[in-house]
Amino acid sequence: MNILNLFRYWRTVLTVGQITLTNLMNDGFILFAVFFQPMIIALLALFMLKDKGADYGLFVVVGSGLTGLWSSLLFISGNSINDERWNGTLESLVAVPIPFEVIVFGKNLAHVAQSILSMLVAYVLAALFFGYSLTLSQPFLFVISLALTVFAFVSFGLLIAPIFVMYRSVQQWQNAMEFPVYILAGFLFPILLLPDWTTPLSYILPPYWAAVALHGTSTTTLPLNGILFAWAMMILLSVIDLVVASRLFTYMLYKVRVDATLEME
Amino acid sequence: MDAIEVNHLHRVYRAVIGVIRRSIKEVVAVGDISFAVGQGELFGLLGPNGAGKTTTVKMLTTLLIPTSGDARVGGFDVVKQANEVRKRIGFIFGGERGLYWRLSGNDNLRYFASLYGVDPDISKKRIPALLEMVGLTGRGNEKVGGYSRGMKQRLHVARTLLHDPDILFLDEPTIGLDPVGAREFRQVILDLQSQKKTILLTTHYMFEADMLCNRIAVINQGGVIALDTPSGLKKHVSDLSVVEVETFGAASEAIEKVRALSFVDSVSIEEHDQRQLLMVQTQRGAEAVPEVLAALDGQRLGRVVVREPTLEDAYVRLVGGNA
């Protein structure tokens, strides 16, 4: 892949991302997943933890924002290819010279970027209605963690979308996959509260390391080497996701053209 | 070099049937199809439903992988060099789907221009020009969901021309359009042909194929059964005349009586609400009228006309007579 192609792909990612955001603005489900659901979770958690101090307020803000990110990734990015099929646009996207995974990457970037608004919603709730004074302990490191979180979530979305297309039995578990990740990734409660056997499961989930990095840089709980380790894990898992996703996309695009499943059956 | 070369293309669909006892059913969509389309030619592919037209177009546009045989589009193999083919082709499948209804016409075009790798500076100029060409000037900022079916079809044309492809595949592009919309669309196709684009068109409307196409392949049951110019195809029925009889709720037994007449080649029926138009192909011409009317005795009849055969009559004869 040469530099010119990379530039062209990046330009496509940005255009796809921008137009996907415009397209999503009128979608009622997106409003629920990005605004209302995190708001409800944040309200519940803030009531439960209201006597625990400002750090817990921030923990809830970041954690409920992560729930919005995960829901968006699971339902919107996970379904992004199937949505195109239902919309009748999948054939048009497969028959363009730009690799299909570049298009899906741009769409996922828009989904994840939009769901960062969940965090902002929770922040406004905590600051305005509960009176928390919310100051990030390491703002610079927090911003880097947030950027890596976006990258890790977009890459993870690229992995699950073709799986949902090819293996419908996996997609049937989509709803059941939402809350366990909230818990396993430690969005709202430390995973130390969970049984030991669940810990390896948490470690292989990019959302867990995102939660570690974001919680660790918004409050003062995590030393620098812990933050760096979480970043490294996010990058490692993202690279693995991208490599596996690339293979999956190649196989999926061959299979749908053999099975004639680009259109709705 | 031909723009499109198709050699013994064959495609089988496999479907799983049954819930407990599962078995695989194979359906041959395209049996053995071969043809070639020259540069700048407007080539028609005609055939009844299920004949394999859309499957053939989808294989040529890299959306389906052939079971066997090969095809080259723009000189490139549709399976091994799919990406090179994609850079050179545009396609439209009939119907309203395939666009983002919550986006404006402009945003749809900007999106697809980006996917075809069109430089943003070029697409900024090309999008208004294409909207003008398809008669959508001033409507580009409206959401596509509010467009009429004809406008959506015309936006599809603009979408498919964004990267200025040399070869176009139009699969039943006028289906569902009102007569005015369909006429405007046919003019767009003629304009594209005048720009030396190679066009492969599938349609169910014979007059459309007759008016537009340089050559036509008629396919049926997965194979090419005739390939000629429209006037060449009409020679298949040059020995025939057509007796058109307007009826109002004619009984099927009466129509079967007409079919059974020894000098009748075939009978096709066009339904128009309460009225039907029986088209009786026969070598006898006007002499056949009394016996045809006798077979329809007791039915409510309208006008009776004897005319020369058209491409549609040739098509009806080719694909198996009675429609």
For residue B284, give the CATH number of its domain: 3.30.70.260
- B59 and B187 in a single domain? The answer is yes
Compare A124 and B140 and report the one with higher pLDDT. Answer: B140
Residue-level pLDDT at A3: 79
Which CATH number is B40's domain given? 3.40.50.300
Last residue of a domain, one of B212, B228, B244: B228
Contacts with B136 (C-beta within 8 Å, 6 or more apart), sequence order: B105, B151, B154, B155, B158
The phi-psi region of residue B129 (left if phi > 0; otherwise alpha if psi is between -120 and 50; otherwise beta) is alpha
Banded model confidence at residue A54, pLDDT cuts 50, 70, 90: low
Q: Which residue of B has its CA nearest to A256?
A: B64
CB A102 within 8 A of CB A93: no
Contacts with B233 (C-beta within 8 Å, 6 or more apart), sequence order: B216, B218, B226, B311, B314, B315, B318
- B45 and B24 in a single domain? The answer is yes
Residue-level pLDDT at A53: 65
Tell me: pLDDT of A261 over 60. yes
Residue-level pLDDT at B75: 94
Last residue of a domain, one of B176, B210, B228: B228
- For residue B270, list its beta bridge partners: B277
Please return the burial class of A211, using the count of CB atoms within 10 Å of its CB with bins 0-12, 13-18 and 19+: buried
- B217 and B239 in a single domain? The answer is no
Residues of A with CB under 8 A from a CB of B: 8, 11-12, 15-16, 19, 22-23, 25-27, 87-89, 91-98, 103, 254, 257-260, 262
Q: How far apart are CA A218 and CA A220, in angstroms?
A: 7
Banded model confidence at residue A91, pLDDT cuts 50, 70, 90: confident
Q: Closest Cα of chain B to A96: distance in Å?
A: 6
Give me A247's structure tokens.
């293979």
Q: Do A95 and B86 touch (CB under 8 A)?
A: yes
Last residue of a domain, one of B194, B228, B262: B228
Q: How far apart are CA B158 and CA B153, in angstroms?
A: 9
CB B46 within 8 A of CB B218: yes
- B111 and B259 in a single domain? The answer is no
- B267 and B126 in a single domain? The answer is no
What pTM did the predictor assign?
Answer: 0.82
Enter the DSSP assignment of B49: T
Residue-level pLDDT at A83: 81
CB A69 within 8 A of CB A37: no
Residue-level pLDDT at A248: 92
Q: Is B56 on the interface with A (CB under 8 A)?
A: no
Number of structural domains found in chain B: 2
For an interface test with A, give the residue of B58, B81, B112, B115 to mutate (most A CBs within 10 A): B115
Q: Which residue of B has its CA nearest to A104?
A: B115
Q: Do B114 and A16 touch (CB under 8 A)?
A: yes
A21: number of CA atoms within 13 Å, CB side? 14
- B280 and B308 in a single domain? The answer is yes
| Amino acid found at B100 | Y
Q: Do A97 and B117 touch (CB under 8 A)?
A: yes
Residue-level pLDDT at B321: 56
- The mean pLDDT value of chain A amounts to 83
- Catalogue the long-range contacts made by A172-178 (C-beta closer than 8 Å, 24 or more residues apart): A174/A74, A174/A75, A174/A78, A177/A74, A178/A70, A178/A71, A178/A74, A178/A75
Q: Do A262 and B63 touch (CB under 8 A)?
A: yes
Tell me: pLDDT of A102 over 50. yes
Comparing CB atoms, the residue among A11, A19, A258 nearest residue B107 is: A19
Residue-level pLDDT at A55: 65
Banded model confidence at residue A207, pLDDT cuts 50, 70, 90: confident
C-alpha distances (whole Å) from A237 to each of A82, A251, B245, B293 are: 24, 21, 74, 81
Q: Closest Cα of chain A to B66: distance in Å?
A: 8
- B152 and B24 in a single domain? The answer is yes
Structural domain of B97: 4-228
- B199 and B222 in a single domain? The answer is yes
Banded model confidence at residue A181, pLDDT cuts 50, 70, 90: confident
Q: Do β-strands B198-202 and B167-171 pair in parallel, antiparallel, or remain unpaired?
A: parallel
Compare A92 and A135 and report the one with higher pLDDT. Answer: A92
Which residues from chain B sit within 8 angstroms of residue A15, using beta carbons?
Answer: 110-111, 114, 120
CB B219 within 8 A of CB B52: yes
Query: In order along chain B (323 residues), what is the average pLDDT of each group of 10 residues?
Result: 93 80 83 93 91 92 94 95 93 84 92 91 92 89 90 90 93 82 85 92 89 92 88 83 88 88 87 86 87 89 88 81 49
Closest alpha carbon to B193 in B37, B84, B25, B15: B37
Q: Is residue B323 part of a domain?
A: no
Q: Do B116 and A88 touch (CB under 8 A)?
A: no
Give me A168's structure tokens.
């419908």
For an interface test with B, give the residue of A13, A92, A263 to mutate (most B CBs within 10 A): A92
CB A137 within 8 A of CB A187: no
Helical pair A224-259 and A206-218, crossing angle rounded to 10 deg: 150
- B185 and B242 in a single domain? The answer is no
- B77 and B148 in a single domain? The answer is yes
Q: Residues of B numbered 92-111 whose beta carbons fall under 8 angstroms of chain A's beta carbons: which are they?
A: 93, 95, 97-100, 102-103, 107, 110-111
- B86 and B136 in a single domain? The answer is yes
The distance from CA A54 to its chain's CA centroid, rounded to whole angstroms, is: 26
- B94 and B57 in a single domain? The answer is yes
Which residues from chain B sit within 8 angstroms of residue A27, using beta carbons?
Answer: 102
